[in-house]
Amino acid sequence: MTGAGRIRSGARALCLALAVLASPAVAVQPDEILDDPALEARARDISQGLRCLVCRNENIDDSNADLARDLRLLVRERLEAGDSDTEVVDYITDRYGEYVLLMPTTGGANWLLWAAGPLLFVGGLGLAALYIRRRGQASEAGEGALSDEERARLERILND
């Protein structure tokens, strides 16, 4: 193989490796996929919003954990039983709690979690404005704070 051939072969291998790495990691096994493409699409949409309880911030479609597989199968079972998307999510939330949702609701005590970020940001802006305002007032008061005698003493200290 010539040098140019090796370069082309290496470039192809690099492109193939990058394509594999750039593809999304989906843990859904072939035996889990539903025969009905519409139901499978609904199952995938629902799965994108459900958290793997083992992996924490990964949806159940991307997780290889056994519990994530069980949840994927449960979603598909509920869809095959005729449940709507919201009924499936409600069923799983009733069994596993609201933590299973990647995007929790804003009702109940969750409103505090949703409001905490903006409230802390506004509070921080207020504290920063107060600090800057007081700092400006302190520098104005500090300019005329020395008497003539103190100024003369300061000059002597600095010149020695």
C-alpha 36/C-alpha 48 separation (Å) is: 19
C-alpha 25/C-alpha 63 separation (Å) is: 8
CATH of domain 26-100: 1.10.8.640
| Integer CA distances (angstroms), 63 to 49, 56, 113, 117, in order | 13, 10, 26, 29
Q: Is the pTM of this model over 0.85?
A: no
Q: Which one, of 70, 67, 80, lies nearest residue 40 by Cα?
A: 80
Q: Is the model's pLDDT at 6 over the cut of 70?
A: no
pLDDT at res. 126: 95
Average pLDDT estimate for 9-24:
51
pLDDT in tens, 27-79: 677 777 778 889 889 999 999 999 988 887 888 988 888 898 999 999 999 99
Q: Which one, of 32, 52, 42, lies nearest residue 96 by Cα?
A: 52
C-alpha 24/C-alpha 33 separation (Å) is: 17
Domain residue ranges of the chain, discontinuous segments joined by +:
26-100, 110-159
Q: Is the model's pLDDT at 23 over the cut of 70?
A: no
| Integer CA distances (angstroms), 82 to 79, 85, 119, in order | 5, 10, 42
Contact 48, 59 (CB under 8 A): yes
| Integer CA distances (angstroms), 45 to 37, 65, 78, 160, in order | 12, 19, 14, 78
The tokens for 132 are 């800057």
